[in-house]
Chain A
């Protein structure tokens, strides 16, 4: 089943009518809709409904490249967009980083659709508001709770990609992000606990609310926020560090995902998002982590946030190991980066909207489950700490020296979870941190997570990424707390 944009053929006809005679031309059409419903302190916030529609056309000609983006979906509008793209291709013909006309751009055909079981619209707006209001009321369990909220963010994005070589790809992405948040305060101390923020994001319908535990999470996070208020600061010093999946998401993203992006390695991002400590000659020989570290680019898990059948330059997406048994194998680079570098990559060239050109992104980047039950990992730690839920992230432009903070932590002493501690942070260096990976959780702690907030590129763009991971244990990490 395909969407109306393919059925009525309007965009295809416009493309056929307006594409210029050039070495390569493509059109990427987006039709997006977003709905955001939030209840804060038991008061419904203004609803936001977004409808966005437009195209980006791209031209490669005589070695140059150019794009034009417009929401004027008429023959005149597309002709104007192609004219501007062609003008740019002419301007850049002798000044481009590569001969764009020599690139072998894909001309594939196919479809993808998110595996939705209970569609967003199957529940009325009033019922969704009622659900969120009920959850909100359950969060204010003590006078110290000064702010609390519940929300749902739904996004559907239909994309049609057409090429001058007959390529035609239709993909229909449908994502849901449920969130809860509780803030407790006493004097100059504030503690926040949340559910879903930065982590629960999947291509699923309302069935995600049951599967993720959204309905029952409120009481726990409210109690935990109060517990943090009364807790001592996280201690300082080297400790064994056990990270829950909702912190592993960030750890994978920042210190594996970004450094492996081929456009960073090629220097495209050096003025903004940064470069990488990884260099081309390291692939195939560099021990990125301990032998327990297995990292895949996996677009094939359909419910994960950034699954797709083709990337935004029409390249068919397939699962691939980027790191196997700790050894670095392959970068995250799409068609153009692969051609520029001469390296094998993956299908990961993506754009956040019709306004932005596609660049190398990490999509779904997962740590494959290991064999260690969570309880056994805790039992095996003499002096350590268990951290959950990211709240702070910072890493250098080469993606090496990092410092991350979590909402929640509990000490591990002699194999048991003991004291709750607040403001837990840890810092390390990517190049050595992953070599201290001591245990990888089994399927029981494995969670399929993701975030809508991966920012990168000039001009800037933010995309959805997915990270599925079990809990992981690291040895000898520099841990510290607040003031």
Chain B
């Protein structure tokens, strides 16, 4: 696809008129999806798609268009040509854009991740065989993914990977379940079996009468997957320069100097350690790392080219939404053996669900417990917990209520697939938090 995309871009560049500048960004995949319910297949199929984003620039005027590529050269050249004609017509009716900024220093790059994907048929038959008798529900997604950039100035960037992400749950009954997953670029049967066995072992703990707790404040352990839901809320405007400047950020009080996080909290946009492309749709290369919060203090924001121009700072290659794609939270010191004794009496949360802001300017979020949550007494898992709603401040959760972070972190690739499979992920420890507020 790389050469095909470059050829499309070359042809489009040859058709430019006068001082026109063109940028092109392609994102695509060739994916298999198999959806399970009760360890049987509900839906299965394959999706081959490529979306091309074109931006036509004349002076400070610009217009952008998106189209789907067919993979047939003559057809795609025609689609691109028609889109450029449309954009050219639009430009005549548009005012200048004071915040237009695009890469003019040519910085080409190429990055490929090695992979050895199993055949989907093989995986499906193994899953069905291994999950026999289990109520397994979830989705297996696998295949190649790519991102590419080209402009009429001669810059070329390519990122390509192939991976699988089997995101699944084992259900015991009603809403009592263990959620887990197995993702990577090389399927190892032993690793998958171990994941399944671990989930089955947790199911055994779930198989006893559930406990209901009263609303109030409890010490909790947030496993990395649960913490990922929390950090995703931080990423919703928390590190965006535009959100800061327009006062939409949930870290408003922190940026105003009214609050700071615990000294052990360091948050990074870790492009070098992540699985997303290292360039954006306007051709800017992302730095290996951007330190967002260092030792509890706000440091750098994610800055899109447009925000950079609007607010007079340098871009660090962020996308238009200025949210992290490869978020990392630095490890703490708690060993795995110390988690339950440190929690002592409280709640062990493997997952959270459906978070949203209950008071965005104050950084307060609400959400639910989900899947395997356990009541812990004297440092031992006792019984499963019925679902509870929480309402808690992000500033306090990562601030004065934070007891500690675990030394071991987990890489958590996103299973999101709106429009196309996500390349995002996070690298997170677990966290013990005091006085976590449950409300319903």
On A, residues with C-beta under 8 Å from B are 43-44, 46-54, 56, 58, 64-74, 77, 81, 84-85, 87-88, 91-92, 95-97, 124-126, 129, 146-147, 183, 185, 187-190, 192, 266-268, 270-272, 274-275, 353, 355-357, 359, 392-398, 401, 403, 405, 423, 425, 427, 429, 455, 458-462, 478, 481-483
Contact = CB atoms under 8 A, between A and B. Distances in A.
A210 B245 CA distance: 33
5 contacts: A126-B93, A129-B95, A274-B370, A403-B440, A459-B47
A396 B387 contact: yes
Contact of A69 (B45, B67, B99, B171): B45
Interface stretch (B200-208, B250-258, B326-334): B250-258
Nearest to A425: B358
A43 B37 CA distance: 49
Contacts of B247: 146-147, 183, 185, 190
A51 B37 contact: no
Contacts of B278: none
The 8 closest A-B pairs by CB, nearest first: A67-B45, A482-B359, A147-B246, A458-B139, A185-B247, A459-B417, A271-B138, A126-B93
Contacts of B46: 67-69, 81, 84-85, 88
Given A97-B41, A396-B353, A401 B68 contact: no
B10 interface: no
Contacts of A458: 33, 35, 138-139, 167, 417
A355 B33 CA distance: 11
A68 B32 CA distance: 9
Contact of B68 (A54, A126, A185): A54
Interface stretch (B82-90, B189-197, B426-434): B82-90
A268 B135 CA distance: 11
Given A357-B43, A460-B418, A44 B97 contact: yes
Given A48-B65, A427-B440, A459-B33, A70 B48 contact: yes
Nearest to A423: B359
A433 B368 CA distance: 18
A190 B55 CA distance: 34
B240 interface: no
Interface in B339-369: 353-362, 364, 366-368
Contacts of A405: 356-358
B382 interface: no
Given A51-B68, A401-B389, A483-B393, 20 more contacts: A47-B94, A51-B79, A53-B68, A68-B47, A71-B69, A81-B46, A85-B45, A95-B125, A129-B94, A146-B245, A270-B37, A270-B169, A394-B354, A395-B368, A397-B175, A401-B440, A425-B359, A427-B440, A459-B141, A483-B362
B439 interface: yes
A221 to B, nearest CB: 16
Interface in B20-39: 33-35, 37-38
Contacts of A85: 45-46
Contacts of B174: 275, 398
A47 B331 CA distance: 42
Contacts of A353: 419
Interface string B147-170: 000000000000000000001110
Contacts of B1: none
Contacts of B83: 49, 51
Contacts of A46: 55, 62-64, 97, 100
A88 B354 contact: no
A268 B64 CA distance: 38
A386 B74 CA distance: 59
Given A125-B90, A401-B440, A455-B418, A73 B361 contact: no
Contact of A77 (B72, B256, B366, B391): B72
Given A44-B95, A392-B356, A396-B370, A271 B90 contact: no
Interface centre among B40, B45, B418 (most CB of A within 10 A): B45
Contacts of A77: 70-72
B139 A183 contact: no
A95 B354 contact: no
A396 B368 contact: yes
Contact of A461 (B71, B167, B418): B418
Interface of B: 33-35, 37-38, 40-51, 55, 62-72, 75, 79, 83, 86-87, 90, 93-95, 97-100, 120-121, 124-125, 128, 135, 137-139, 141, 167-169, 171, 174-175, 177, 179, 245-248, 252-253, 256, 258, 353-362, 364, 366-368, 370, 387-389, 391, 393, 416-421, 439-440
B246 to A, nearest CB: 4
A48 B64 contact: yes
A396 B373 CA distance: 14
Contacts of B38: 97, 267
A469 to B, nearest CB: 21
B49 A69 contact: yes
Contacts of A84: 45-46
B247 to A, nearest CB: 4
A188 B252 contact: yes
A270 B364 CA distance: 27
Nearest to A273: B354
A274 B137 CA distance: 11
Interface centre among B83, B171, B419 (most CB of A within 10 A): B419
Contacts of B137: 267-268, 270-271
A85 B245 CA distance: 49
Contacts of A271: 137-139, 167-169, 179
A97 B418 CA distance: 24
A425 B357 CA distance: 10
Contacts of B361: 188-190, 482
Contacts of B48: 69-72, 81
A394 B387 CA distance: 13
Contacts of B75: 73-74
B35 A49 contact: no
Nearest to A279: B174
B139 to A, nearest CB: 4
Given A46-B63, A355-B49, A459-B417, A96 B41 contact: yes
Contacts of A459: 33, 47, 139, 141, 417, 421
Contact of A88 (B45, B86, B245, B248): B45
Contact of B41 (A81, A92, A461): A92
Contacts of B41: 64-65, 91-92, 95-97
A67 B44 contact: yes
Contacts of A44: 94-95, 97
A252 to B, nearest CB: 17
B252 A190 contact: yes
B87 A49 contact: yes
B40 A50 contact: no
A401 B44 contact: no
A96 B354 CA distance: 30
Nearest to A271: B138
Nearest to B122: A91
Contacts of A73: 70, 75
Contacts of B63: 46-47, 49
B40 A96 contact: yes
Contact of A183 (B124, B246, B355, B364): B246
Contacts of A51: 65-68, 79, 83
Nearest to A428: B440
B139 A188 contact: no
A92 B33 CA distance: 12
Given A355-B49, A458-B139, A459-B139, A71 B64 contact: no
A71 B62 contact: no
Nearest to A54: B68
Contacts of B72: 72, 74, 77
Given A49-B87, A270-B171, A483-B393, A71 B68 contact: yes
A125 B71 contact: no
Contacts of A427: 389, 439-440
Interface centre among B44, B252, B256, B393 (most CB of A within 10 A): B44
